[in-house]
Amino acid sequence: MKSMGSLVLTASLLAGSAALAQGKADINVGAGTQGGSQYPITVALGTLLEKMPEIGRVTLQPGGSIGNVIRVDDGKSDIGITMSQSLREGRLGKEPFKKATNNAVNLITLHAFHVVIFVPEESTIKTFKDFAGKKLNVAPKGFSIREISETIAKMEGISGKVDLGTLRITEAVESFKDGHHQGLMYAPSERFGAFMNLAQTRNVRLIELDRKIMDAFVKEDPSFYITKWPKDRAAYKNLSNSVDSLAYPNVIAASAKLSEPLAYQMVKFIAENFDQIRPSEPSLEPFDVKEMAIDAGSPFHPGAARYYRERGWIK
């Protein structure tokens, strides 16, 4: 067991979820996997929550996106970080979930990953359809972006006509620089080092997906939404444009059994003190707290929804 002040990181569970201790609630947080980008966010979140008068001890349970949805649904964690897709698919009972996780709801929407496609500035490729007969690196099988690329190719009517590469991002960037692939498709966060470095050494441009395709994609899977990437093009020196993109965010799921007053106070406290979480992840630097209320395809906890309505962020 490792402790940081009264914040406890442990592989075992405290007895009871949101248990009351001396009139304060003890909170179990499903954390990101150690070494992953979600983990520092949950450490910062736990540290912040311990400053709330209503909360006593905060326990972090390192896990993963799917595992945290299951833990929240089972009541073993009060809140947990996950992806919008995992939260929605769990609620629908889709594989790999063995049952519908209807007890897991959205508390906070965080920063997103964005579906983007790079081409050289001088490329004649203007649309996704133009990749028919060309090489577009996406990622190895098993990555979300590969499944997304295959879905978009099918929607565009060019399924099987695009040579979809399987290189991981470091090798993919080098292959793109060397001209072995005409395009590079990936799902970066707002501040993504590999692409920031690419844009330092190459003149590059983004391909925007057809709006009708994006609208249809979101209608089919509302854990996605449409937003601009990058927000701050200055972070990508030789990138010539920004585009509307499909986005799927990190979210903080919460147990529907978490009391409405406590959920309200937690969201309020986090929103008012978000600058204490921001340094944990570079992509949170440009994050607007109003984005906490973005609809990511799963219902908000009633306490969160009440706060967001009060702020005018949702109706």
* Rg of the chain on CA atoms, in Å: 20
Kindly tell me if the per-residue pLDDT of 5 is higher than 70: no
At residue 217's C-alpha, the angle toward residues 180 and 67, to 5°, is 85
Mean pLDDT of the chain: 93
First-residue to last-residue Cα distance in the chain? 43
At residue 30's C-alpha, the angle toward residues 290 and 102, to 5°, is 75
Lowest mean pLDDT among 18-22, 71-75, 193-197: 18-22
Token pair listed for 288: 């607007």
- Give pLDDT tens digits for 269-281: 999 999 999 999 9
Cα(264)–Cα(107) distance, integer angstroms:
9
pTM of the predicted protein model: 0.91
Length of the chain: 315
- pLDDT band for 11, please (50, 70, 90 cuts): very low
Kindly tell me if the per-residue pLDDT of 49 is higher than 50: yes
Cα(248)–Cα(65) distance, integer angstroms:
13
Asked if residues 10 and 1 have their Cβ atoms less than 8 Å apart, the reply is: yes
- Give pLDDT tens digits for 119-132: 999 999 999 999 99
Give the domains, in start order, of the chain with CATH numbers. 2-112+250-311 (3.40.190.10), 113-248 (3.40.190.10)
